[in-house]
């Protein structure tokens, strides 16, 4: 009888342990130029948990020559469900983008509109 109680307690303990395991949350994707259809190299990619803010920042990376990126979080205690990972994608001269839980997603960035200012000399 005592061994059955022990076994039951051990089983319940394992369930709680497995439910609260730490997990690394990751994502990946590719960034492309919307006008040319070409990959963008050197795009800034920042990863956040739950929502982009200084308090939820996880890591910074850049896209490779094929426009690919991979992001991950610090180990997180996931009891029940894990938090979402968000990426902020920034590239000088282009629009910015946010992607929630990227898993092989393609993000298309458009060149930012540039104003041409003409100077008329009298």
Distance CA 22, CA 117 (A): 54
pTM: 0.73
Residue showing tokens 């890591």: 59
119 located within any domain: no
**Of 80-84, 96-100, 111-115, which gets the smallest average pLDDT?**
111-115
Question: CB of 110 within 8 A of CB of 95?
Answer: yes
103 located within any domain: yes
In the predicted structure, residue 117 carries a pLDDT above the cut 50: no
**Of 10-14, 47-51, 65-69, 77-81, which gets the smallest average pLDDT?**
10-14
15 located within any domain: yes
46 located within any domain: yes
In the predicted structure, residue 99 carries a pLDDT above the cut 90: yes
- Predicted confidence band of residue 52 (pLDDT cuts 50, 70, 90): confident
CATH of the domain at 103: 2.60.40.1120
* Dihedral sign (CA 89, 87, 30, 110): negative
> How many domains would you assign to the chain?
1
In the predicted structure, residue 9 carries a pLDDT above the cut 90: no
Please write down the HEC assignment for all residues of 9-75.
HHHHHHHHHHHCCEECCEEEEEEEECCCCCECCCCEEEEEECCCCHHHEEEEEECCCCCEEEEECCC
Domain span holding position 26: 2-109
118 located within any domain: no
């Amino acid at each position: 009888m005592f061994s059955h109680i022990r076994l039951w307690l051990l089983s319940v303990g394992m369930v709680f342990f497995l439910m609260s395991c730490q997990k690394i949350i990751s994502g990946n994707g590719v960034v492309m130029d919307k006008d040319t259809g070409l990959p963008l190299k050197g795009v800034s990619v920042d990863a956040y948990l739950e929502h982009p803010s200084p308090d939820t920042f996880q890591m910074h990376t850049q896209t490779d020559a094929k426009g690919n990126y991979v992001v991950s979080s610090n180990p997180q205690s996931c009891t029940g469900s894990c938090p979402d990972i968000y990426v902020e994608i920034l590239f000088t001269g282009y629009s910015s983008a946010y992607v929630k839980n990227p898993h092989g997603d393609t993000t298309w960035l458009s060149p930012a509109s540039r104003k041409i200012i003409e100077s008329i000399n009298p």
